[in-house]
Amino acid sequence: MASLKNAMKTQRVHRERHQPMARQHLGPLEKKKDYKIRAKDQQQKNEALTVLRKKALIKNPDEFHYHMINSGLKDGVHYEKVEDEELAVGDVMQDLVYVTHRRSIERKKIDKLKAQLHLLDTSDQPKNTHILFVDTKKEARRADPAKMLDTHPALLSRTFNRLRTSQLASFGNHLSDPAFFKQISNSKRKAYKELAQRIQRENKLRIMQEKLEVRKALMDNKTKNGEQPKLEQPGSSTSAPVYKWPQVRKK
């Protein structure tokens, strides 16, 4: 029986006390395992600060470092002096495959957005005016454009996709909430902004792809020991360089 009592003592679960009710506003009571983690993290930070202070004290300001001559300041802007490394044909081909793949993905996303959106003017003020004609001046003073066009007053300024009242009935009680139409306009504006950004990104990928194709063609021509092409137009940030290859008669 004594052995059973000792076994029960060893199997007893140790339970730590919780935060007293009077100190509940201070959050949960920190346990020993939490304190160990916090203390270890604090010790590591103190050791790192000690090492940094020691390095700052023994640092020689006249010590030479290669980064001193491999970087510089130009008009107050820091830049790195990077030399163009000679790449192999395989490296250029690998970059070309990756850029082509990314461009195809952007093209698919652009086509998907264009299918969902109308490429129309998104400005708040319409360029054209819609003139409504009535028979008398009295009717003109009493005329309600929203009632005549059978639409919601919030949609009068739209130059496209002006829904009728019967079509707006499917939205239910949202028509009485002005924030609903504002949310629709914001989502439309975000969609057009995303489309413009993707078109710009696809254009940059196209320029990069053209430059890589020209570089690969030059490297292939160099390996064949043929006559070097003539540069007709240097490359820029918006276009690839243009070379003129000599005409070679094929046997």
Query: Quick one: which H or E segment has residue 233?
Result: strand 230-233
pLDDT at 137 over 60: yes
Cα 238 to its chain centre, rounded Å, is 21
- Residue 190 CA to residue 249 CA, distance in Å, equals 55
Please give the residue that has the higher pLDDT: either 146 or 70. Answer: 70
List C-alpha distances in Å: 54 to 17, 50, 62, 65, 156: 43, 6, 17, 19, 71
Q: What share of the chain is helix, strand, coil (3-state, %, to 5)?
A: 55, 5, 35
Q: Are 197 and 189 in contact (CB under 8 A)?
A: no
- Contacts of residue 5, Cβ cutoff 8 Å, sequence gap at least 6: none
Q: Which of the residue ranges 11-20, 120-129, 210-219, 221-230 would you say has the lowest mean pLDDT?
A: 120-129
Other beta carbons within 10 angstroms of residue 240's beta carbon come to: 19
39 confidence band (pLDDT: 50, 70, 90): very high
Q: What integer is the mean pLDDT of 192-212?
A: 90
Residue 28, H or E segment: none
Q: Where are the domains of the chain?
A: 88-119+163-206
CB contact at 8 A, 163 and 150: no
In 3D, which of 236, 181, 195, 223 has the Cα closest to residue 92?
A: 223
The amino acid that residue 24 corresponds to is: Q
- The SS3 call for residue 17 is coil
Three-state SS at 145: helix
What is the pTM for the complete model shown?
0.46
